[in-house]
Structure 1
Amino acid sequence: MMSKELITVRGYVASVPRGTDGRQARVAVVQDDVEYRIVPRGAGVDLDDEVSVPVEVTGHLDRGEETLYLTVREYRILEDDSWLEE
Structure 2
Amino acid sequence: MRTKKYSSYAQIDRELEILKIERELSLQKLHFEIQDVKENLEPKNIVRGIIGSYTPIILGPYGKIIGLVIPFIKNWIFKKRGR
| TM-score bracket relative to the smaller structure | under 0.3
TM-score when normalising by structure 1: 0.17
| Structure holding more strand per residue | 1
| Structure holding more helix per residue | 2
- Larger Rg over CA atoms: 2
TM-score when normalising by structure 2: 0.18
